[in-house]
Amino acid sequence: MHHSTALPISISAVTKAYGAVHALKGVSLDIQAGEFMTLLGPSGSGKTTLLMAIAGFTRPDSGSIRFGDQEAILSPPHKRGVGMVFQNYALFPHMNVARNVAYPLKLRKVAKAEVDAMVAEALETVQLAGYGDRAISQLSGGQKQRVALARAIVFKPRILLMDEPLSALDKKLREHMQIELRHLHEKLGMTTVYVTHDQREALTMADRIAVINHGSLQQVDTPRKIYESPANRFVADFIGESSILPVVRDGNTIRFDGNALKTVTAPPDGPLALMIRPERLAFVTDASRDEVNTFAGNVLELVYQGDSALCYIELSNGTTVALRANTHAGGPLDSIVEGASVTLGLHVADTVLIPAGRDA
């Protein structure tokens, strides 16, 4: 069932307004053939509007959406050859599993003789072989999700679009399905566009992530780049936890609370802020190491979370940072108490300076 014919999607200067609200402000995005692209952003950011524009359910006010070299913007959804999985699955409760999966084939007037074989193949692909006669009401949430997926891939679309398909599942099942969908994508190879507001889900699943806010793309990059080198403060705040601290540029030196910061890469131009990921900070006893920036502070609060603990520390200039510490015996937490004076170390390679502005 491998798709050798995955199509690239080229989105160019797409705008969409609803009255005075600009849902999309000139979005341009190139998605490679066979890529798993995740559109990530908060509610109301425009990510679903963009997905619906790709699907054909929303007509943009201007711009272009090409599948390969074909302009798609004027084609109705059923002519675009796109598979869709929605948040609420949108299954037909009065039809059994097989008839739900066969529905897109009926719309496409596929010969009856081929339908059964294609449905069986799609159900096997999502690990539901033998479930064709089941009623939808007999299925668990995870099984309904798989039926919706089988229906989306049964006609071998070259593009698969998914709108928060796992949001109704509990955390453990959701994490399991993220890996399964990732494996399915590797097996089928179609170009996949996946909408989520869950940054961990995006980091887990995507080849590249397009972070969107207020109808504009903020950054399009690999999960690792987005996490390690956010393009701006919005991305730094939205993805993962981070403390964002003000810094001062003093000629070629960047200072925090008067002390010079050592960094690996040259900082970007313009006003800067220091981004600190909690898991990159450590308590240091020997502060003489060259490759570490150090910060003095007092422990405000310790929050035990099982595999780790979040420690909030007030630095000498009054700003607060979070540090994520390991909870294993003999680890730093054995000796750290609220109110203690501590020195924190941040490796030079983890000292990330970002533009201080809110977003693009």
How far is it, in rounded angstroms, from Cα 120 to Cα 131? 9
Residue 360 pLDDT greater than 80, yes or no: no
Residue 68 burial (10 A CB sphere; 0-12, 13-18, 19+): middle
Q: Rounded mean pLDDT of 283-304? A: 86
**Among candidates 201, 205, 196, 218, which has minimal Cα distance to 354?**
218
Reported confidence tier of residue 1, pLDDT bands at 50, 70, 90: very low
Mean pLDDT over residues 288-314, rounded?
Answer: 90
Average pLDDT, the chain: 92
CATH of region 235-355, choose from 3.30.450.20, 2.40.50.140, 2.60.40.420, 3.40.50.300: 2.40.50.140
Residue 4 has a pLDDT of 54
Specify the pLDDT at position 289.
Answer: 67
What pLDDT was estimated at residue 260? 93
Confidence check: pLDDT of 92 > 90: yes
Q: Tens digit of pLDDT for each residue in 12-70?
A: 999 999 999 999 999 999 999 999 999 999 999 999 999 999 999 999 999 999 999 99
**For strand 62-67 and strand 9-18, is the pairing parallel, antiparallel, or unpaired?**
antiparallel
Please state the rounded mean pLDDT for residues 108-117: 91
For the chain, the structural domain boundaries read 9-229, 235-355
User: What is the band of 2 on the pLDDT scale with cuts at 50, 70, 90?
Assistant: very low
Distance between CA atoms of residues 305 and 79, nearest Å: 50
Does the fold of domain 235-355 match that of domain 9-229? no
**pLDDT at 3 exceeding the cut of 50:** no
Stretch 194-210: mean pLDDT: 96
Between CA 235 and CA 228 the distance in angstroms is 10
| pLDDT band (50, 70, 90) for residue 273 | very high
- pLDDT tier at 252, thresholds 50, 70, 90: confident
- What token pair was written down for 48? 């679903």
Q: How confident is the model at residue 288 (pLDDT cuts 50, 70, 90)?
A: low
- SS3 string of the chain? CCCCCCCCEEEEEEEEEECCEEEEEEEEEEECCCCEEEEECCCCCCHHHHHHHHHCCCCCCEEEEEECCEECCCCCHHHCCEEEECCCCCCCCCCEHHHHHHHHHHHCCCCHHHHHHHHHHHHHHCCCCCCCCCEHHHCCHHHHHHHHHHHHHCCCCCEEEEECCCCCCCHHHHHHHHHHHHHHHHHHCCEEEEEECCHHHHHHHCCEEEEEECCEEEEEECHHHHHHCCCCHHHHHHCCCCEEEECEEECCEEEECCEECCCCCCCCCCCEEEEECHHHEEECCCCCCCCEEEEEEEEEEEEECCCEEEEEEEECCCCEEEEEEECCCCCHHHCCCCCCEEEEEEEHHHCEEEECCCCC
Percent of the chain with pLDDT over 90: 78
Please state, as a whole number, how many other Cβ atoms lie within 10 Å of the Cβ of residue 225: 14
pLDDT of residue 37: 98
Q: For 9-229, give the CATH class.
A: alpha beta
Whether the pLDDT of residue 285 is over 80: the answer is no
